[in-house]
Amino acid sequence: MQEEKIKERAKEKDGKKTQVAERVRVWAGRLFCEALFLGGAYILGEGRMLFGSAPLGIALLCGTGKHTVSILFGLLVSAFMQGMSAPIYILVYLAAALMRLLAGLLLEEGTGWAVLSDGVRRRLVGAREKEEGARDAHEEHQGLVLRIGEHFSGTGVQTLVSEVRGVFCESMGLRMATAGVAALALSLYRIVVGGFRFYDLFAAVFCVAVAASATAVFSVALDERSRFRPLRLISEGALLFSLVWSSGGILFFGLSLAMILSFTLSLCVARARGAGEGICAALLCGLAYDPISAPAFLLAVLAYLFFHSMERESAGVLLGSFCALAWIAYVKGAGALLWAVPGVLIADTAFTLLERLVFSTGREEEKAEHGEGEKT
């Protein structure tokens, strides 16, 4: 009897340890995901396009109903880097988030906060878009602050979470309008400070148009608003291109962040999506970073895919790095290796960590499920 009790207690302890480890793993994954969105928002906030405009950060903030808090913090960090213009950037980002919050509170039918009539709400929101798009964003919204609230009970926090969870699920028209207004506010500040030059007027028109259109494009991938695969691939490609393009002026310990991201993201897409999308990602990253360097990322992806088919990823990463460095030395001279080698090594390290922590975990789970299916 005593031995049976000891065994039962040991099983209970093992079960508790397993549950704790699973919770830690889940929360670590969530925090890592939020950190990625925070970093991506910072990069897009730093990105500059035609006429020196910066519409991509606003488009990311308005283009998704998930990870809004992390994206806002990332944009605020980038705003602090704008020098004398930092206050206006901070105010615009906060105002855009507040406009989205108010729109959700006023128009979201399921939150209990909606104060407009059903007819006005339907005209502003759209019934079909509410059913297809907002429901997915409502169910999958993973804002870090809101999720923390779910772990408290007996304090009314869960009720508040359920009421506020859907407020960032407004229609695409409202999101685009919010992005356009925020971009216009930034542009008006620039026009007034610049002395009403035609250059700044053109920049205002471009910034508003790109912010609104990019919001629609980004939302297809970020909120899964369309099940049409080509449309989603276009949206993901635009987001990838924008991320690498925006990082062109950012240095990471004196190295080009754009090159590091291009190498890492190309390999990640090839690992996660296969040869076709990996090759397209390598070309997009290369064009966004430096068109003459695009073949370097393409060669790296092809080498990795070749060895990945034989389950020898490490050899694929190593050979891909050599191929990429050989191309860079060929087109830019041997002196370019002084900055290319450290950048490629950092990218290799980042991808190897992701391979071990993310992709390998998914592969082990698939094998375990497959083994259980065979046993049954």
The full DSSP string for 283-314 is HHHHHHH-GGGHHHHHHHHHHHHHHHTTT-HH
Q: Is 116 left (phi over 0), alpha (psi -120 to 50) or beta?
A: beta
- Structure-block tokens of residue 206: 């471009």
> 189-203 burial by CB neighbour count: b if 16+ within 10 A, else e?
bbbeeeeeeeebeeb
| C-alpha to C-alpha distance for 181 and 62, rounded to whole angstroms | 11
Give the pLDDT confidence score for residue 258 in this predicted structure. 92
Give the pLDDT confidence score for residue 29 in this predicted structure. 76
**Closest by Cα among 170, 197, 235, 189 to 90:** 189
Q: Is 47 left (phi over 0), alpha (psi -120 to 50) or beta?
A: beta
DSSP state of 119: H
| C-alpha to C-alpha distance for 63 and 219, rounded to whole angstroms | 5
pLDDT less than 50: residues of the chain: 109-117, 120-121, 123, 126-167, 364, 366, 368, 370, 372-376
Burial of 221 (0-12, 13-18, 19+ CB in 10 A): buried
- Structure-block tokens of residue 121: 């709400």
What's the 3-state SS for 306-342?
A: HHHCCCCHHHHHHHHHHHHHHHHHHHHCHHHHHHHHH
Give the pLDDT confidence score for residue 2 in this predicted structure. 63
Q: What angle do CA 32, 168, 25 make, to 5 degrees?
A: 20
Hey, what amino acid is at 324? Answer: A
Q: Is 324 left (phi over 0), alpha (psi -120 to 50) or beta?
A: alpha
| C-alpha to C-alpha distance for 55 and 183, rounded to whole angstroms | 6
């919770």: which residue's tokens?
Answer: 23
Give the pLDDT confidence score for residue 175 in this predicted structure. 86
For residue 252, the surrounding DSSP H or E stretch is strand 251-252
CB 49 within 8 A of CB 246: no
| Cα–Cα separations (whole angstroms), residue 85 to 278, 303, 322, 327 | 39, 45, 43, 40
- Structure-block tokens of residue 77: 């960090």
Q: pLDDT digits over 47-100, tens only?
A: 888 888 889 999 999 888 778 889 999 999 999 988 788 899 999 999 998 888
Count of CA atoms in the C-beta half-sphere (13 A) of 186: 32
CB 324 within 8 A of CB 341: no
Give the pLDDT confidence score for residue 6 in this predicted structure. 66
Quote the crossing angle between the two packed helices 313-332 and 337-354, to the nearest 10°. 160
Radius of gyration from C-alpha coordinates of the chain:
24
DSSP state of 251: E
